[in-house]
Amino acid sequence: MIRETFERAVARQRQGDLAGAIAGYRRCLELDPSIAVARHNLCVALLTAGELEEGFALYDLRFGAGRQPVRKPALSFPEWSGEPVWGRSILIWPEQGAGDHIMFARFVPELVHRGARVTMLVPPTLARLFAPLPATILVAEGRVSIPTHDFWSMAGSLPGKLGVGLANLPADRYLPDAPRGVGIGIMARGNPAHGADRDRSLPPDVAARLLALPGARSLHPDDTGARDFEATAGIVRGLDLVISVDTSVAHLAGAMHKPTWILLQAQDPDWRWMRDRTDSPWYPTARLFRQPAPGDWDSVLNEVEAALRARRAAA
């Protein structure tokens, strides 16, 4: 009975029936609270449905369900559990991809507002980009000496510990931008090591169609020569618009409040873009373009081209 209930919930989630999926996973956990994958899937379904507060309260389940390559560090000082941080120091530990780093960096100003002294451990490619944040930047390169802090936290655990929901999700610009520029930046493909990259990255012919738009240029580091995300941000600051698949450049441009159009696959788009929305509570300047069916990028590009014509007519 549990297996059948779980499989029905998974099928409903894939079909976009989030309410049915959530009910199914809850039923599984009523029958057996130890099913880690059901708890993890419930978390993802809740986040996708916009139930951020409950979803993020479960988000630490990503460490036990075997669904994401996330590992907690072994440090000599305690993990933060959400207690007051006024006058205390906290180390933010990195995890997952660069887009996750950028998305969760929005919570650093909130920690500082609550009186914390924040240190961020970041990969070298993000060190210069994060320099303007109100935090001490510690670069994760080679053997790193970790100073003792009062607490540490995984970056992705911050919204759950801060009690974040849709009503209080920080959406202010937290990375520097410049006045409106010229041209369109295109990010047509992501990291090929990503599990969903085959679905989210554009086929070469579709990418070529985007790059043929007037004023378009590639933002891929292979084409720009950018050595880190700050170099890419410097290019983005001079642009009028960024069009990207679901990859780190979408988060970069969104965090800068650059107009950003994000192209999403129909098959299992990431939870953070939710469902049936053309906007994003994470990034106020973002617009979402969704495939109507798996593999149908032509319809997405038709919509993008129409939106560009309307945008230019209104300029």
Is 10 exposed, middle or buried, given 0-12, 13-18 or 19+ CB atoms closer than 10 A?
A: middle
CATH code of 2-63, in short, is 1.25.40.10
Measure the CA–CA gap between 250 and 227, rounded to whole angstroms: 18
Question: Is 0.85 topped by the overall pTM?
Answer: yes
Closest CA relative to residue 152, chosen from 116, 127, 110, 106: 116
3-state secondary structure the chain: CHHHHHHHHHHHHHCCCHHHHHHHHHHHHHHCCCCHHHHHHHHHHHHHCCCHHHHHHCHHHHHCCCCCCCCCCCCCCCECCCCCCCCCEEEEECCCCHHHHHHHHHHHHHHHHCCCEEEEEECHHHHCCCCCCCCEEEECCCCCCCCCCCEEEEHHHHHHHCCCCHHHCCCCCCCCCCCCCCCEEEECCCCCCCCCHHHHCCCHHHHHHHHCCCCEEECCHHHHCCCCHHHHHHHHHCCCEEEEECCHHHHHHHHCCCCEEEEECCCCCCHHHCCCCCCCCCCCCEEEEECCCCCCHHHHHHHHHHHHHHHHHHC
Q: CB within 8 A of 222, min separation 6: which ones?
A: none
**What are 118's two structure tokens?**
């924040």
**What are 81's two structure tokens?**
């559990």
Is 96 exposed, middle or buried, given 0-12, 13-18 or 19+ CB atoms closer than 10 A?
A: middle
Strand order through the sheet with 136-139: 136-139, 117-122, 89-93, 151-154
Distance from chain centroid for Cα 129: 16
Closest CA relative to residue 235, chosen from 263, 213, 261, 216: 216
**What are 279's two structure tokens?**
């906007």
The owner of tokens 């780093």 is 101
CATH code of 184-314, in short, is 3.40.50.2000
Are 242 and 251 spatial neighbours (Cβ–Cβ below 8 Å)? no
Instruction: List the pLDDT tens digit at each of the 315 positions of the chain.
Output: 788 888 898 889 888 899 999 999 999 999 888 888 899 899 999 999 999 999 999 888 777 554 455 678 889 999 999 999 999 999 999 988 899 999 999 999 999 999 999 999 999 999 999 999 999 999 998 888 999 999 999 999 999 999 999 999 999 999 998 878 999 999 999 877 666 777 889 999 999 999 999 999 999 999 999 999 999 999 999 999 999 999 999 999 999 999 999 999 998 889 999 999 999 999 999 999 999 999 999 999 999 999 999 999 987
Predicted local distance difference test score (pLDDT) of residue 195: 65
**What are 228's two structure tokens?**
């880190």
Measure the CA–CA gap between 7 and 227, rounded to whole angstroms: 44
Predicted local distance difference test score (pLDDT) of residue 65: 53
Q: How many CB atoms lie within 10 A of CB 108?
A: 23
Closest CA relative to residue 123, chosen from 145, 104, 149, 96: 96
Are 98 and 125 spatial neighbours (Cβ–Cβ below 8 Å)? yes
Predicted local distance difference test score (pLDDT) of residue 4: 87
